[in-house]
Amino acid sequence: MTETRGIQKIAFVGDHLPRKCGIATFTSDVLAAVATEYPQSECLCVSVNDIKTGYEYPEVVRFEIEEQDIASYLRAADFLNISDVDIVCLQHEFGIFGGVAGSHILALLRELRMPVVTTFHTVLRDPDPAQRRVMQELISLSTRFVVMSQRGMQMLREIYHAPANRIDLIAHGIPDVGFVDPAYYKDQFGVEGKIVLLTFGLLSPNKGIEHVLNALPAIVAKFPDVVYVILGATHPNELREHGEAYRLSLEILARKNKVGANVIFYNQFVDLENLKEFIGAADLYITPYLQEAQITSGTLAYAFGAGKAVVSTPYWHAAELLDEERGTLVPFANPAAMAEAIIDLLGDDNRRHAMRRNAYRIGRDMIWSSAAKRYMHSFELARLEGAPLAHKFLAAKTVDRKPRELPEMKLTHLRRMTDATGVFQHAVFTVPNFAEGYCADDNARALVLAVQLSELGGDQDEVRSIATTCAAFLHHAFDQGTRRFHNFMSFDRRWLDQAGSEDCQGRALWALGTAVGRSPYRSFQMLAGQIFSRGLPELLECRSPRAWAFALIGIHEYLRRLGGDSMVNQIRDTLVWRLTDIYHRTAQQDWRWYEESLSYDNAKIPHALILSGSAMGRDDVLALGLESLRWLVEIQTSEQGHFRPIGSNGFHVRGGARADFDQQPVEANATVSACLAAFRITGDLWWNEQAQRAFDWFLGWNDLGKELYSPQTGGCCDGLHVDRVNWNQGAESTLAFLLSLAEMRLSADILTSFLQPVAVGD
């Protein structure tokens, strides 16, 4: 055995069987391979749970992380540090960790004292800003990196600027199986005498299996004894969201194509021994994936290394592995080309068997024992190089360099304020006021909150329940004839207006655009998109700058998912022109604003221009938004340095005295949101400080030194009078606090990347 030169304990961080996902299988296999090849080194696993109940793990899983609970990542870091682990081997895939773009894992890595070797299972060619930030910090926090293909190595260097001398190329490991005739295994599955085509892996729509089923009639016409085996359980995420709809659609397609007798579904997650037998029985392996941006495929590696002839679409891993006649590549989503390639291979035994022998020969270098040796070499190099943040545990953070500790997210009062119809508008102290009924404004705010909470994790059943209620309310509020939203509804479910205010129209569109762009649920995206596209053109008839601003924020979110919608882009252009035009006609050196008065939800106007200017590449619009927001922030900062919003008891007319009271929570929320947007876009920490200043208004840093939010329930008082707090906890105020808290939490990971520790000493 190879000497490990001092590496006594290795921790693999990722997923682990019996969780059903590709990363769990890989982590289990690589850990077992290293443990077998180097029995003198203790190997353990820290596994991430995607369900509350967790899994019945084997003893090698020593610590469990709750996917969406950032505190559990910090506890895992403590466990690893205390356990005297020599090397951490992280299996990275965006989707298995909590936080925006899986950013919770960064909290764990920042606290580790030992070298980290990160295996990148995905390297994105076109990351969004959050994904790019996570990748760049992963690179800074890791000592070495492992990729499984040449393309992955190239992209890691060119797109993310990872140092080439710290990247190790280690092919996806495979089990060591013999090169045997497929007929040896076929009788176990009742397919003796048949030609077996195989696809295996967790089932989901991106696998493209429907295109093989559409190719199958032509194949069966040439080779009637063909059987196509589709092996694998439906992916757990697909199962939770859509059930077995995709599998059912495939079964219907097989019957429609009259090849039902030639298709076998095995709806199971098979263990390694059974999988090897399924692969052994295959004459031809097929991977019909739909997108090229897949840099690693464990199923392809397993089949190829077992000496199978492969027909595949040209996703990145396949294009590299199957080059030089090691397999056959066909265009994406092209059943005719798929059929032709399969028929050619089945009709040419010499070529097919040569392809098999070539694959098997190359595969000997990919078996898990070889992969384990390469991983240990990477671990040894990392140990010599040391942790990238050596002596980090001695770092000290002054208060201004430390992210703010935020209150716990409590939805108790929001639940109290919501029934099956929607969110109640007002409360008498903490009791819903039925007499005031409901309004679309608050249900729109609650829908935005639900989308944000879905990104933060937590109880997704509760979050989806809130989202469903609020989306249904807005759907009912939308008048198909006038294409405007009602606002006020009585407790007995009667609309009390012909149409809501212009600002109500804008708020509803803000919420619906957010649901389209950021909701993880397809049904919400579709419902919200339909109402949004019908209601948005009507907004052009509105004359309220706040209505335009709310709509622009909704447009920004909508275009994150549907950027090619020309109508929505045109309306954005029009609304941006309107806001910039009124600014240029109204603003003066001492009044950098869009109107002759400051009233309510003020920060939403510059917020809209900051987002729009950045997204449109309009530096002039972005600069205007930042300029007016800075002016607003400065005049809403008291002499003592705390946030003092424009009071609703008179507002602030240009040239007149400003009203300092009654201060409303919605003003603090609008300022938090706008300043965080400015921070995310500019990277200027000053904006984050202003967001924290506005958020602290809820917590007691205000004119009266009074806390407005309830740490027990998450409710928020309705305002700050000159001499007292308004103890009623209505929906607008409670949602203002919860929205602010959610946004502060969503920005926490971004902030941490800006606040590097100050070293005390070497």
Amino acid in the structure at residue 524 = F
6, pLDDT greater than 50:
yes
411, pLDDT greater than 70:
yes
- Each residue's pLDDT tens digit, 528-556: 999 999 999 999 999 999 999 999 999 99
Instruction: Write down the pLDDT at residue 275.
Output: 80
- Each residue's pLDDT tens digit, 578-624: 999 999 999 999 999 999 999 999 999 999 999 999 999 999 999 99
Q: In what helix (H) or strand (E) does residue 65 lie, and over which residues does it extend?
A: strand 61-66
CA distances from residue 682 to 190, 633, 665, 686 in whole angstroms, order as listed: 63, 16, 26, 10
User: 168-182, 188-202, 267-281 — which is least confidently predicted?
Assistant: 267-281
Third-level CATH fold of 9-173+369-394: Rossmann fold (3.40.50)
- Each residue's pLDDT tens digit, 326-369: 899 999 999 999 999 999 999 999 999 999 999 889 988 999 99
Instruction: Write down the pLDDT at residue 391.
Output: 38
- Each residue's pLDDT tens digit, 55-112: 999 999 999 999 988 888 988 998 999 888 999 999 999 989 988 889 899 999 999 9
Q: How far apart are CA 693 and CA 702, in angstroms?
A: 10
Neighbours of 128 (CB within 10 A): 11
- 421-443 mean pLDDT: 97
34, pLDDT greater than 70:
yes
- Each residue's pLDDT tens digit, 149-189: 999 999 999 999 999 999 999 999 988 888 888 888 888 88
Domain boundaries, the chain: 9-173+369-394, 183-365
- 197-208 mean pLDDT: 90
CB-based contacts of 118, cutoff 8 Å, min separation 6: 89, 90, 92, 138, 142, 144, 145, 146
Contact 742, 448 (CB under 8 A): no
- Each residue's pLDDT tens digit, 476-531: 999 999 999 999 999 999 999 999 999 999 999 999 999 999 999 989 999 999 99
- pLDDT band for position 229 (50/70/90)? very high
Strands of the sheet with 195-200, listed across from one edge: 263-266, 226-231, 195-200, 284-287, 309-312, 328-329
398, pLDDT greater than 90:
no
Q: How far apart are CA 571 and CA 552, in angstroms?
A: 9
Instruction: Write down the pLDDT at residue 178.
Output: 84
Contact 275, 299 (CB under 8 A): no
Architecture in CATH for domain 183-365: 3-Layer(aba) Sandwich (3.40)
Q: How far apart are CA 459 and CA 598, in angstroms?
A: 39
Q: Does the global pTM surpass 0.75? A: no
Asked if 9-173+369-394 and 183-365 have one fold, the answer is yes
